[in-house]
Every structure is written in structure tokens, then in C-alpha cells.
């Protein structure tokens, strides 16, 4: 089983030694791994590493908790987890890559396995890192390197290039479960316009479908949908509909009928399509592990692309299961048997949980099978591939139908899916702690190959306050995926649903985001191309005093963020590992001052974007625009902190082609000569006319230089 996952569609990469029941390591390997003969759970394999007090563990992707994973347990088993409380050990992704950092060395490990893996990183026993792989058919790949960044880069090269969205996917997106009809969507679109808030798209939640059936649009609630989609697109705004994993069982529903006829559904032990229930009631699950099913399902996206759609979110693809026939019957029987009984506390609680426990009970995973190259595989064994392979199917289809880039995100994922789409971090809540989780989660997910990532800004569940929304925008302004999404029956969460002050602050921050797009897009494209991180923890570069700081992140090579993520705070402590320039942006203003190395308190207004620019680095800023379609780069601002000499590579392209033919690299060099600067712009963007340099030197002296290009 281990080989089909990574080998597929990656050529020219060296993989680690395939291992079956034995773990082969070179002699004298610095990481002591012992193969534990005490197999506790049937086919479980246990690995154990020693943990020294100063050891750190980074990685494992989409999980709650600190960036240094030490002291916690984690489970790699994609789960529809609707309540991200601190005690949860798994979320929607299964990302089995981590780096073990010791005093003088670091080693990366990748466990290529499609089933459950459990990590205890010094939780039960502080000095022990134990990994249980629930199976024997895996590969472990060891990735050495002289630094954390080198290991990450080697790993990223090994797993292949990440998905690249269109440039418009870097804009602001509004979403809500509960936009009930086209009129409401129109109203959202128009309100963004009248309130002068940039907008690149609106996500459509399952409300647009007919009876929760994939690849249908309710004619009653969304009449003349195609015209509407095209009209919005002409104005630079895209609609991004949801697709769920389950297919409604309903005679004459074309997807259901085709699925049955083509043998595309997962089967139960008797060989009949497995029946589970999700949004529409009873569904079958496409067996995405079959290439023919991926091909078939991918073709279905044509229904959407024919309507003008260029972006989709794949959801409920862990897969989420509300109940299955057997479990519901048992629960109903249990409840019926309680009738007239005198229930003591234990019986009452059992009864109370009977129905709640139906949701995503993992026993369902023992009841259906996949067909992998003619062999039957119990879902439990390959569970973590399900959402991943649904997204591969969608990617294949969208690519064929559109022949250009498209927006594609998925809720469930495993390593390898990063080549086909991005992810959002699922059903978080409007809690301040979830803003902090968002900050900490980004680099861990990025390390595992995913770049087009972000959380539901403002929080999905619960009630968001205006202050939380604005603070969240101030962080999400730097995440490639920027989407404000919220759950049914929660408070309205659009920036204009709060006070005027919140609206004004949000507008200013979102417009600031649009000014950052030249930098963010450039950083994204270069990071993917060069196998570098977009989000980097301080610890990946700095030890001795800075390695424990997890609420400051580098974004690309040039800037560092230190967001506010606590209530009623207008200032926070920032610890600068080097002298940097403090940048402060609104939609119209740009300030740049010097900030010394070490701890200092930073003031943080609600209407500003604040971050730090590193020494001898530069970054481009554009002008705010209604949407990405209207972003112009005839004039750029370049912010620079130059001690002696700095170079910046500005990456741009047409933002939509699959090929890199339109790729344009502009190189800007700024050198200090006494009090003056020498500026060189190599290969300027054709449309660029003026660069306004704002350059600060180590004494804090600012020079504004207007530089004419293409003259
Ligand atoms: C799931 C998704 C959420 C969506 C909801 C309804 O909970 O994670 O984003 O709004 O389903 O489709």
C-alpha cells in the first residue's frame, strides 16, 4: 500500500528504503529508533525515540497546540472535528512529517502511510517520543540536513511542487453558511461595492444546491445562475461553490445513477454500495482511490465550469458521517429499550450519548471498502487518502475543463494533496485562542507542503466580536487564503455587519492586504518554485533565546509579523532577533521607522497593518484596488531597510496560465554609497513606470526616491 501514494505522478525522486516489517537504519544513526516487538494492537508498529530535555519536534501539519510539538499527543487520522478545543488530538489533515531538533543536529522523518498514526511526544513519559503506526505496510523516510530549513526544503522537493492558484485567489473572499438565495449573494456583492471594501469572490455553501445534491443548482433559489456568475466575473468577482463527498441516494439523480452503473461507490462487506448519512440523508461515497472514479468524478465538475465557475471547495471529505444504517438502528433500539425503565445515572448518560456518539463514529470505517488496483482495502486502512484523492479528482477535472488555473481547497488532506489544492483549517470558532491557533498552525502546515492555506477568518462557530474580526483580519491579511466564513445561525460576520468603526478599520486592513498582494504573490510563487517556506517560525533561523517565540512569524524572506491575538490589547511585546524596520500601513499611508534588536512594546492600532522588514531587505507594495483584476502595477512602492546592500526579486506573471511562460522576474538592487543610494532595476515589468522607494538606513534616516522605469 505504501508505494502507490507518493510514487504516483512524481517522477525522478529518490525515495527512502521501502520497509515492510522491519525498520532499517544505518548504523550509528543519531536518532535511536527501536523496533518495538511488543505489538499491542494487532498490526501496530511502535517506534521510540529518546527525547533529551532540550530536544524539539516541529511539523505534523494541521494540529492544535504549539509549533514545537513536544509534550503533547497527536493522532494522524483525518477527522471532521467540529469543536477545536485544546484537548483534541486530531483535525482534518494527516501530515506525517516532522523534524527532530537536537543540540547539534536535526533530522526529518516522513512516515508514508495511509492509515492511523499516533504520536506521543513526551506526553506520557517526558523523555520518550513514541510513534504507533497502525499497520506494517509503510515506509519511513529519513531526511538529514545541516539546518531545519534545509531539511524542509529537501522534503518539499521530495514530495513535489505545490498547487498554484490563480492570482485572484489572493484577494478577499466573503463566505457564510446560510446565504439562502441569489438575491442574498447579490446583496453581499453590492454592499461590498457601496461600502468600498475590496472583494474577489463569494463562496457558496451548500445552500445553493438542490436538496444537498452535488452538481446541481437550485433553480428556484438561484435562477439564471450562469448569467449571474458571468456578470460578477466581468466585475472581477468569482463565485466558489462547495462540493461534498457524499452522493445522495435518489433514483433518477444522474450522479447517483452513473455512480451505480459505473461501480464508482465504496462497497460494504457484502459487496453492495455502502450507505451512510450526511447532509442529504442517505448517501454513497465515491471510491476516489479508483482511478476510473477520479476520472468520472472530475468530469462532473464540468457542470460547474460550464456555468462559469473557476473555483471549488471540497468539503466533508474525511469523510464525515452523521450515522450509518446499522448504528442508527442500534441507537433507536437502545432508546426504545429504555422506555418505561428507571434509568440510573449511568444508564441515563449512556442514553444521552447514544445519538450524539453516532456522529463520525470510527466504527463506520470498518464497514466499507475501497478497490485499489483490484485489491480490496478496508477504509480504516487507507482512511487518510480519502479527501486527498477527492481533491486529485477535482483537480484533474478542473484542469481539463478550464485549461487554466483555478481555486481549489479541501477540508481533509494528507501529504501529497498539496500538489492538487490548498486547505482551510475547518470549523474553528470565534475565539481569541483560535486566532492564536491560526498563527501557530500556518508554518506547521506549510512545512508539510501546503501553501494555499488559511483559516475561517473571524471564526466559523460562535459569535464574533468586531474587535476579534479586525484583529483576525490583521493576521489573515498575510495568509494566502483570506476568507471570512461563518456557520449557520451565528451572528452576521461581514465587515459591515458591525459598527462603523469596525467597518472602517476592516476596510483599511483589507485594502492594506491588497497593497500587499505584489509581495504576497511574489513570495508565494518564489517559495513554491524554490521549495522554501512561506511561513517560517523564528526557531528555524534563530536559537538561543528566540526559539521559544511562537507568536511571531517570518513571511517569506523579507518580513516578520507579530500580530495581536488577545482581547482588549492595543500593544504587545515583540522580541526582535535582529534590528529591523517597523512598517505601518493603512490603505493610504506608509510609515517606516527603525526598531532595535531585542524586546520592545509595539503599539497596534485597529486600522493598521504592522510588521517588520529585515535588514538589507526590500518589499514591494501596490495600490489598493477593488479586486485583483483591477490591481495595477504601473506604480510600485518599494520599502527598504538598507545597511549596505539589498537585492529583491519581484516575481510576476499573468496570474492565470498553467504554464510559466508569462513569468517575469524583476531584480531590484539598492546599495548604500555614503549618504546616497545607488539603485538598479533589472528587467523591469513592462507596465511599470514609477517606483517610489522609501529607504531607511541603520541610523533611521529615511529617504524618499522617485525612480522612473522603462524610460
Ligand atoms: C462543514 C464545513 C463548513 C461548512 C458547513 C456546511 O462544517 O467545514 O465550512 O460551512 O460544513 O456546508
Nearest-CA neighbor of 370 among 358, 383, 361, 359? 383
For ligand 1, say whether the CB of 177 is within 6 Å of any of its atoms. Answer: yes
449-469 mean pLDDT: 98
pLDDT tier at 540 (50, 70, 90 boundaries)?
very high
Whether the CA torsion 358, 364, 367, 371 is positive or negative: it is: positive
* Residue 63 contacts residue 88 (beta carbons within 8 Å): no
What is the CA(429)–ligand 1 centre distance, in A?
12
pLDDT score at 373: 84
Give the atom of ligand 1 at the shortest distance from the alpha carbon of 82. Answer: 7
What is the CA(675)–ligand 1 centre distance, in A?
57
Please spell the DSSP secondary structure of 415-472, one letter per residue: TTGGGT-EEE--S-BS-HHHHHHHHHHHHHHHHTT--SEE-EET-SBS---HHHHHHH
For ligand 1, say whether the CB of 81 is within 6 Å of any of its atoms. Answer: no
pLDDT tens string 357-384 = 999 999 999 999 999 888 899 999 999 9
For ligand 1, say whether the CB of 518 is within 6 Å of any of its atoms. Answer: no
What is the CA(386)–ligand 1 centre distance, in A?
17
- How does 133-156 read in b/e, with b if 16+ C-beta sit within 10 Å? bbbbbbbbbbbebeebbebbbebb
Residue of 204, 208, 427 to test ligand 1 pocket, by largest number of atoms within 8 Å of CB = 427
User: Given 3.20.20.80, 3.10.580.10, 3.30.70.1140, 3.40.50.1000, which CATH number is that of 160-171+179-322+359-416?
Assistant: 3.20.20.80
Instruction: Tell me which of 150 and 11 has the higher pLDDT.
Output: 150
pLDDT score at 136: 72
pLDDT tier at 28 (50, 70, 90 boundaries)?
very low
* Residue 64 contacts residue 427 (beta carbons within 8 Å): no
What is the CA(216)–ligand 1 centre distance, in A?
18
Least confidently predicted of 73-82, 101-110, 206-215: 101-110
pLDDT score at 8: 37
SS3 308: coil
What is the CA(315)–ligand 1 centre distance, in A?
7
Residue whose Cα lies nearest atom 4 of ligand 1: it is 177
Phi, psi of 533 (to 5 degrees): -80, 145
For ligand 1, say whether the CB of 278 is within 6 Å of any of its atoms. Answer: no
The neighbour count for residue 207, using CB atoms within 10 Å, is: 19
Q: How far is CA 8 from CA 2, 389, 419, in A?
A: 11, 12, 11
167-185 mean pLDDT: 98
Half-sphere exposure at residue 39, Cβ-oriented, CA atoms within 13 angstroms: 11
pLDDT score at 6: 40
* Residue 328 contacts residue 343 (beta carbons within 8 Å): no
pLDDT score at 3: 37
What is the CA(146)–ligand 1 centre distance, in A?
42
The neighbour count for residue 164, using CB atoms within 10 Å, is: 20
pLDDT score at 648: 98
pLDDT score at 30: 30
For ligand 1, say whether the CB of 205 is within 6 Å of any of its atoms. Answer: yes
- Separation of alpha carbons 686 and 444, rounded Å: 37
- Separation of alpha carbons 103 and 105, rounded Å: 6
- Separation of alpha carbons 461 and 487, rounded Å: 5
For ligand 1, say whether the CB of 427 is within 6 Å of any of its atoms. Answer: yes
For ligand 1, say whether the CB of 385 is within 6 Å of any of its atoms. Answer: no
Please spell the DSSP secondary structure of 16-71, one letter per residue: --B-SS-----TT-SS--EEE----STTEEEEEEE--TT-EEEE-SS-SS-SB-TT
Whether the CA torsion 551, 555, 556, 559 is positive or negative: it is: negative
For ligand 1, say whether the CB of 318 is within 6 Å of any of its atoms. Answer: no
Residue of 83, 174, 177, 322 to test ligand 1 pocket, by largest number of atoms within 8 Å of CB = 177
Strands 635-641 and 690-696: parallel
What is the CA(411)–ligand 1 centre distance, in A?
9
- Over 50: is that where the pLDDT of 29 sits? no
The neighbour count for residue 545, using CB atoms within 10 Å, is: 12
User: What is the chain's mean pLDDT, rounded?
Assistant: 93
Phi, psi of 517 (to 5 degrees): -55, -40
433-460 mean pLDDT: 98
- Over 80: is that where the pLDDT of 4 sits? no
pLDDT score at 480: 99
Indicate where the chain has its CATH 3.20.20.80 domain(s): 160-171+179-322+359-416
The share of the chain scoring above pLDDT 70, in percent, equals 94
Q: How far apart are the first and last CA of the chain?
A: 60
Residue whose Cα lies nearest atom 10 of ligand 1: it is 177
What is the CA(177)–ligand 1 centre distance, in A?
7
Question: What is the number of residues in the chain?
Answer: 711
- Separation of alpha carbons 149 and 159, rounded Å: 15
Q: Give residue for cell 524610460.
A: 711
Least confidently predicted of 121-125, 186-190, 541-545, 568-572: 541-545
For ligand 1, say whether the CB of 242 is within 6 Å of any of its atoms. Answer: yes
Residue of 173, 243, 460, 481 to test ligand 1 pocket, by largest number of atoms within 8 Å of CB = 460
What is the CA(410)–ligand 1 centre distance, in A?
11
* Residue 463 contacts residue 490 (beta carbons within 8 Å): yes
- Separation of alpha carbons 49 and 69, rounded Å: 14
Indicate where the chain has its CATH 2.60.40.1760 domain(s): 7-158
pLDDT score at 35: 36
- Over 90: is that where the pLDDT of 535 sits? yes
DSSP-derived secondary structure letter, 307: T
Burial of 666 by CB count in 10 Å (0-12 exposed, 13-18 middle, 19+ buried)?
buried
Residue whose Cα lies nearest atom 7 of ligand 1: it is 427
- Separation of alpha carbons 537 and 608, rounded Å: 23
55-77 mean pLDDT: 98
SS3 242: strand
Residue of 176, 204, 205 to test ligand 1 pocket, by largest number of atoms within 8 Å of CB = 205
34-40 mean pLDDT: 34
What is the CA(486)–ligand 1 centre distance, in A?
9
Whether the CA torsion 460, 464, 470, 471 is positive or negative: it is: negative
Residue of 245, 487, 493 to test ligand 1 pocket, by largest number of atoms within 8 Å of CB = 487
What is the CA(250)–ligand 1 centre distance, in A?
23
For ligand 1, say whether the CB of 206 is within 6 Å of any of its atoms. Answer: yes
Find the helix or strand (DSSP H, E) in which 525 lies.
helix 500-530
Q: Which three cell numbers stand for residue 706?
A: 522617485
For ligand 1, say whether the CB of 80 is within 6 Å of any of its atoms. Answer: no
Superfamily of domain 7-158: glycosyl hydrolase (family 31) (2.60.40.1760)
The share of the chain scoring above pLDDT 90, in percent, equals 89
For ligand 1, say whether the CB of 315 is within 6 Å of any of its atoms. Answer: yes
- Separation of alpha carbons 246 and 214, rounded Å: 8
Burial of 297 by CB count in 10 Å (0-12 exposed, 13-18 middle, 19+ buried)?
buried
- Over 90: is that where the pLDDT of 605 sits? yes
* Residue 408 contacts residue 163 (beta carbons within 8 Å): yes
What is the CA(268)–ligand 1 centre distance, in A?
27
Q: Which three cell numbers stand for residue 597?
A: 534588536
- Separation of alpha carbons 199 and 459, rounded Å: 19
- Separation of alpha carbons 554 and 532, rounded Å: 12
- Over 60: is that where the pLDDT of 21 sits? no
What is the CA(149)–ligand 1 centre distance, in A?
35
* Residue 228 contacts residue 263 (beta carbons within 8 Å): no
Percent helix, percent strand, percent coil in the chain, to nearest 5: 25, 30, 45
Phi, psi of 310 (to 5 degrees): -130, 15
554-563 mean pLDDT: 98
Least confidently predicted of 1-15, 268-282, 489-503, 628-642: 1-15
* Residue 603 contacts residue 573 (beta carbons within 8 Å): no
pLDDT tens string 209-255 = 999 999 999 999 999 999 999 999 999 999 999 999 999 999 999 99
Find the helix or strand (DSSP H, E) in which 110 lies.
strand 106-112
Nearest-CA neighbor of 593 among 702, 509, 671, 674? 702
Query: CA angle, corner 179, sides to 175 and 181, nearest 5?
Result: 135
pLDDT score at 104: 84
Give the atom of ligand 1 at the shortest distance from the alpha carbon of 426. Answer: 8
For ligand 1, say whether the CB of 130 is within 6 Å of any of its atoms. Answer: no
Number of helices (H), then strands (E), in the chain: 14, 41
Phi, psi of 283 (to 5 degrees): -135, 165
Find the helix or strand (DSSP H, E) in which 201 lies.
strand 201-204
Q: How far is CA 47 from CA 2, 61, 128, 133, in A?
A: 17, 20, 10, 8
Burial of 428 by CB count in 10 Å (0-12 exposed, 13-18 middle, 19+ buried)?
buried
pLDDT tens string 644-685 = 999 999 999 999 999 999 999 999 999 999 889 999 999 999
What is the CA(570)–ligand 1 centre distance, in A?
33
pLDDT tier at 32 (50, 70, 90 boundaries)?
very low
For ligand 1, say whether the CB of 197 is within 6 Å of any of its atoms. Answer: no
What is the CA(630)–ligand 1 centre distance, in A?
31
For ligand 1, say whether the CB of 426 is within 6 Å of any of its atoms. Answer: yes
* Residue 86 contacts residue 472 (beta carbons within 8 Å): no
pLDDT score at 141: 86
| pTM for the structure as a whole | 0.95
Query: CA angle, corner 611, sides to 606 and 612, nearest 5?
Result: 155
- Over 60: is that where the pLDDT of 140 sits? yes
285-291 mean pLDDT: 97
- Rounded to 10 degrees, the C-alpha dihedral 426/429/435/436 comes to -90
- Over 80: is that where the pLDDT of 17 sits? no
Q: Give residue for cell 538529514.
A: 144
Give the atom of ligand 1 at the shortest distance from the alpha carbon of 456. Answer: 9
- Separation of alpha carbons 74 and 87, rounded Å: 10
Q: Give residue for cell 468600498.
A: 196
Give the atom of ligand 1 at the shortest distance from the alpha carbon of 487. Answer: 10
What is the CA(335)–ligand 1 centre distance, in A?
29
Amino acid at each position: 500500500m505504501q508505494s502507490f501514494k507518493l510514487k504516483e505522478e512524481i517522477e525522478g525522486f529518490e525515495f527512502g528504503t521501502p520497509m515492510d516489517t522491519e525498520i532499517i537504519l544505518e548504523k550509528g544513526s543519531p536518532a535511536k529508533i527501536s523496533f518495538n516487538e511488543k505489538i499491542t494492537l494487532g498490526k501496530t508498529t511502535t517506534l521510540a525515540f529518546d527525547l533529551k530535555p532540550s530536544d524539539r519536534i516541529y511539523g505534523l501539519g494541521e494540529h492544535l497546540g504549539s509549533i514545537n510539538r513536544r509534550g503533547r499527543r497527536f493522532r494522524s487520522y483525518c477527522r471532521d472535528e467540529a469543536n477545536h478545543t485544546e484537548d483534541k488530538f486530531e483535525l482534518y489533515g494527516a501530515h506525517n512529517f516532522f523534524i527532530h531538533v537536537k543540540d547539534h543536529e536535526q533530522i526529518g522523518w516522513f512516515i508514508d502511510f495511509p492509515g492511523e498514526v499516533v504520536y506521543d511526544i513526551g506526553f506520557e513519559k517526558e523523555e520518550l517520543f513514541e510513534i504507533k503506526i497502525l499497520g506494517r505496510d509503510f515506509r519511513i523516510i529519513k531526511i538529514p540536513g545541516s539546518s531545519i530549513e534545509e531539511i524542509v526544503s529537501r522534503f518539499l522537493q521530495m514530495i513535489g511542487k505545490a498547487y498554484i492558484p490563480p492570482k485572484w485567489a489572493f484577494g478577499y473572499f466573503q463566505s457564510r453558511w446560510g446565504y439562502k438565495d441569489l438575491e442574498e449573494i447579490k446583496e453581499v456583492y453590492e454592499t461590498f461595492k457601496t461600502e468600498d471594501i475590496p472583494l474577489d469572490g463569494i463562496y457558496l455553501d451548500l445552500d445553493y444546491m438542490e436538496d444537498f445534491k452535488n452538481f446541481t443548482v437550485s433553480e428556484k433559489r438561484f435562477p439564471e445562475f450562469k448569467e449571474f456568475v458571468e456578470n460578477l466575473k466581468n466585475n472581477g468577482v468569482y463565485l466558489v461553490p462547495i462540493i461534498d463527498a457524499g452522493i445522495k441516494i435518489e433514483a433518477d439523480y444522474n450522479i447517483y445513477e452513473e455512480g451505480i452503473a459505473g461501480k464508482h461507490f465504496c462497497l460494504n462487506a457484502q459487496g453492495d454500495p455502502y450507505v451512510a448519512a450526511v447532509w442529504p440523508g442517505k448517501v454513497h461515497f465515491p471510491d476516489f482511490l479508483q482511478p476510473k472514479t477520479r476520472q468520472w468524478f472530475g468530469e462532473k465538475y464540468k457542470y460547474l465550469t460550464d456555468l462559469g465557475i473557476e473555483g471549488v471547495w471540497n468539503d466533508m471529505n474525511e469523510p464525515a458521517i452523521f450515522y450509518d444504517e446499522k448504528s442508527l438502528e442500534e441507537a433507536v433500539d437502545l432508546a426504545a429499550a429504555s422506555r418505561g425503565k428507571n434509568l440510573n445515572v449511568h444508564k441515563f448518560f449512556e442514553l444521552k450519548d447514544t445519538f450524539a456518539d453516532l456522529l463520525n463514529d470510527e466504527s463506520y470505517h470498518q464497514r466499507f471498502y475501497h478497490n485499489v488496483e483490484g485489491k480490496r482495502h478496508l477504509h480504516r486502512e487507507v482512511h487518510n487518502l480519502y479527501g486527498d484523492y477527492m481533491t486529485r479528482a477535482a483537480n484533474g477535472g478542473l484542469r481539463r475543463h478550464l485549461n487554466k488555473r483555478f481555486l481549489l481547497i479541501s477540508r481533509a488532506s494528507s501529504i501529497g494533496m498539496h500538489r492538487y489544492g490548498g486547505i482551510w483549517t475547518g470549523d474553528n470558532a470565534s475565539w481569541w485562542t483560535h486566532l492564536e491557533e491560526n498563527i501557530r498552525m500556518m508554518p506547521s502546515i506549510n512545512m508539510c507542503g501546503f501553501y494555499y492555506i488559511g483559516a475561517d477568518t473571524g471564526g466559523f462557530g460562535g459569535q464574533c466580536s468586531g474587535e476579534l474580526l479586525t484583529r483576525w483580519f490583521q493576521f489573515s491579511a498575510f495568509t494566502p487564503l483570506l476568507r471570512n466564513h461563518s456557520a449557520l445561525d451565528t451572528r452576521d460576520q461581514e465587515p459591515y455587519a458591525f459598527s462603523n468603526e469596525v467597518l472602517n478599520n476592516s476596510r483599511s486592513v483589507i485594502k492594506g492586504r491588497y497593497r500587499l498582494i505584489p509581495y504576497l504573490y511574489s513570495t508565494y510563487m518564489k517559495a513554491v518554485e524554490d521549495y522554501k517556506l512561506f511561513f517560517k517560525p523564528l526557531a528555524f533561523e534563530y536559537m538561543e533565546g528566540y526559539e521559544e517565540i511562537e507568536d511571531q512569524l517570518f513571511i517569506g524572506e523579507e518580513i516578520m509579523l507579530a500580530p495581536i491575538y488577545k482581547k482588549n490589547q492595543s500593544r504587545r511585546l515583540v522580541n526582535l532577533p535582529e534590528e529591523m524596520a517597523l512598517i505601518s500601513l493603512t490603505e493610504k499611508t506608509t510609515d517606516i521607522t527603525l526598531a532595535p534588536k531585542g524586546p520592545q512594546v509595539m503599539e497596534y492600532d485597529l486600522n493598521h497593518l504592522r510588521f517588520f522588514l529585515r535588514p538589507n531587505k526590500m518589499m514591494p507594495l501596490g495600490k489598493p484596488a477593488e479586486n485583483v483584476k483591477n490591481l495595477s502595477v504601473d506604480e510600485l512602492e518599494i520599502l527598504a531597510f538598507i545597511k549596505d546592500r539589498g537585492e529583491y526579486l519581484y516575481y510576476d506573471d499573468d496570474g492565470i496560465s498553467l504554464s510559466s511562460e508569462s513569468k517575469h522576474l524583476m531584480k531590484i538592487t539598492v546599495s548604500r554609497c555614503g549618504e546616497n543610494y545607488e539603485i538598479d532595476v533589472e528587467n523591469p515589468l513592462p507596465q511599470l513606470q514609477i517606483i517610489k522607494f522609501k529607504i531607511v538606513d541603520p541610523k533611521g534616516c529615511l529617504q524618499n526616491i522617485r525612480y522612473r522605469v522603462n524610460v
